[in-house]
Structure 1
Amino acid sequence: MTIREFKMPDVGEGLTEAEILKWFVQPGDTVTDGQVVCEVETAKAAVELPIPFDGVVHALLFEEGTTVDVGQVIISVQTDAGAATAGAEAPEAAPVAAPVAAPAEVPAAAEEPAAAARQPVLVGYGVSQASTKRRPRKAAGDVVAQNGTAAPAVVPAQPAAAATQNGTAAPAAGSAAARALAKPPVRKLAKDLGIDLATVVPTGDGGVVTREDVHAAAAAAIAPQVAAPVVAAPIAAAPAPVQAPAEVPAQAAAAATGRETRIPVKGVRKVTAQAMVGSAFTAPHVTEFITFDVTRTMKLVQELKDDPDLAGLRINPLLLIAKAVLVAIRRNPDVNASWDEAAQEIVLKHYVNLGIAAATPRGLIVPNIKDAHVKTLRELSESLSGLVATARDGKTSPADMQNGTVTITNVGVFGVDTGTPILNPGESAILAVGAIKLQPWVHKGKVKPRQVTTLALSFDHRLIDGELGSRFLADIAAVLEHPRRLVTWA
Structure 2
Amino acid sequence: AVGVVAKPPIRKLARDLGVDLADVVPSGAAGEVTREDVVKHASQASVFRNIETPEWGAVREETIPVPVPDAAASVPPAPSRSLPEPVDGREESIPVRGVRKATASAMTSSALTAPHVSVWVDVDASRTMELVKRLKSSPDFADVRVSPLLIMARAMIWAVRRTPMVNAAWVDTDEGAQIRVRHYVNLGIAAATPRGLLVPNIKDAQDLNTRELARALEKLTLTAREGKTTPADQQGGTITITNIGVFGVDAGTPIINPGEAGIVALGAIRQKPWVVDGEVRPRWVTTVSGSFDHRVVDGDGVSRFIADIASVLEEPALLLD
TM-score normalized with structure 1 length: 0.47
| Alpha-carbon distance change, 382 to 256 in structure 1, aligned in 2, over 3 angstroms | farther
Figure out how many residues of one structure are paired with residues of the other and give that number.
Answer: 234
Q: Does 1:325 align with 2:156?
A: yes
**Among 278, 296, 301, the residue aligned to 1:468:** 301
State how far apart, in whole Å, the 1-side matches of 2:87 and 2:212 are. Answer: 47
| Alpha-carbon distance change, 433 to 258 in structure 1, aligned in 2, over 3 angstroms | same
Offset from partner CA, 1:118-176 (integer Å, 9 cap, x none): xxxxxxxxxxxxxxxxxxxxxxxxxxxxxxxxxxxxxxxxxxxxxxxxxxxxxxxxxxx
Q: Does 1:486 align with 2:319?
A: yes
Q: Does 1:414 align with 2:260?
A: no
State how far apart, in whole Å, the 1-side matches of 2:191 and 2:167 are. Answer: 21
Equivalent residue, structure 1, for 2:91: 260
| Structure 2 unaligned regions, length at least 5 | 1-85
CA drift at 1:350: 1.1
RMSD: 1.1
CA drift at 1:463: 0.5
Q: Does 1:444 align with 2:277?
A: yes
Q: Which amino acid is 1:443 matched to?
A: V
**Among 352, 357, 363, the residue aligned to 2:185:** 352
**Among 125, 140, 144, the residue aligned to 1:309:** 140
CA drift at 1:454: 0.5
TM-score normalized with structure 2 length: 0.72
State how far apart, in whole Å, the 2-side matches of 1:257 and 1:412 are. Answer: 39
Q: Does 1:298 align with 2:129?
A: yes
State how far apart, in whole Å, the 2-side matches of 1:257 and 1:329 are. Answer: 54
Q: Which amino acid is 1:386 matched to?
A: K
Give 1:206-245 correspondences, 5 Å limit. none
State how far apart, in whole Å, the 1-side matches of 2:282 and 2:297 are. Answer: 35
| Alpha-carbon distance change, 256 to 398 in structure 1, aligned in 2, over 3 angstroms | farther
| Alpha-carbon distance change, 308 to 256 in structure 1, aligned in 2, over 3 angstroms | farther
CA drift at 1:256: 8.6
Instruction: Please identify runs of 4+ aligned residues in structure 1 that moved more than 4 A.
Output: none
| Structure 1 unaligned regions, length at least 5 | 1-254
State how far apart, in whole Å, the 1-side matches of 2:87 and 2:187 are. Answer: 40
Equivalent residue, structure 2, for 1:64: none
**Among 424, 434, 442, the residue aligned to 2:257:** 424
CA drift at 1:300: 0.5
State how far apart, in whole Å, the 2-side matches of 1:266 and 1:334 are. Answer: 34
CA contact (8 A) 1:256 1:262 kept: no
Q: Which amino acid is 2:272 matched to?
A: Q
Secondary structure at 1:344's aligned position in 2? strand
Equivalent residue, structure 1, for 2:113: 282
Offset from partner CA, 1:203-252 (integer Å, 9 cap, x none): xxxxxxxxxxxxxxxxxxxxxxxxxxxxxxxxxxxxxxxxxxxxxxxxxx
Q: Which amino acid is 2:136 matched to?
A: K
State how far apart, in whole Å, the 1-side matches of 2:87 and 2:103 are. Answer: 24
State how far apart, in whole Å, the 2-side matches of 1:456 and 1:330 are. Answer: 19
Q: Which amino acid is 2:319 matched to?
A: L
Secondary structure at 2:169's aligned position in 1? strand
State how far apart, in whole Å, the 1-side matches of 2:247 and 2:318 are. Answer: 28
State how far apart, in whole Å, the 2-side matches of 1:460 and 1:334 are. Answer: 10
Q: Which amino acid is 1:478 matched to?
A: S
Equivalent residue, structure 1, for 2:230: 397
CA contact (8 A) 1:279 1:423 kept: yes
State how far apart, in whole Å, the 2-side matches of 1:316 and 1:485 are. Answer: 18
Q: Which amino acid is 1:316 matched to?
A: S
Structure with bigger RCO (C-alpha 8 Å, 6+ apart)? 2
State how far apart, in whole Å, the 1-side matches of 2:320 and 2:113 are. Answer: 38
| Alpha-carbon distance change, 257 to 389 in structure 1, aligned in 2, over 3 angstroms | farther
Q: Does 1:269 align with 2:100?
A: yes
State how far apart, in whole Å, the 2-side matches of 1:360 and 1:305 are. Answer: 26
CA drift at 1:257: 4.8
CA contact (8 A) 1:286 1:459 kept: yes
State how far apart, in whole Å, the 1-side matches of 2:141 and 2:228 are. Answer: 27
**Among 435, 455, 458, the residue aligned to 2:288:** 455
State how far apart, in whole Å, the 2-side matches of 1:256 and 1:458 are. Answer: 40
Offset from partner CA, 1:250-281 (integer Å, 9 cap, x none): xxxxx895211211110000010011010001
Secondary structure at 1:327's aligned position in 2? helix
Equivalent residue, structure 2, for 1:370: 203
State how far apart, in whole Å, the 2-side matches of 1:346 and 1:309 are. Answer: 40
CA drift at 1:334: 2.2
Higher radius of gyration, 1 or 2:
1
**Among 315, 319, 339, the residue aligned to 2:170:** 339
CA contact (8 A) 2:188 2:201 kept: yes
**Among 377, 381, 384, the residue aligned to 2:217:** 384
Secondary structure at 1:315's aligned position in 2? coil
State how far apart, in whole Å, the 2-side matches of 1:352 and 1:302 are. Answer: 27
Q: Which amino acid is 2:311 matched to?
A: A
CA contact (8 A) 1:420 1:456 kept: yes
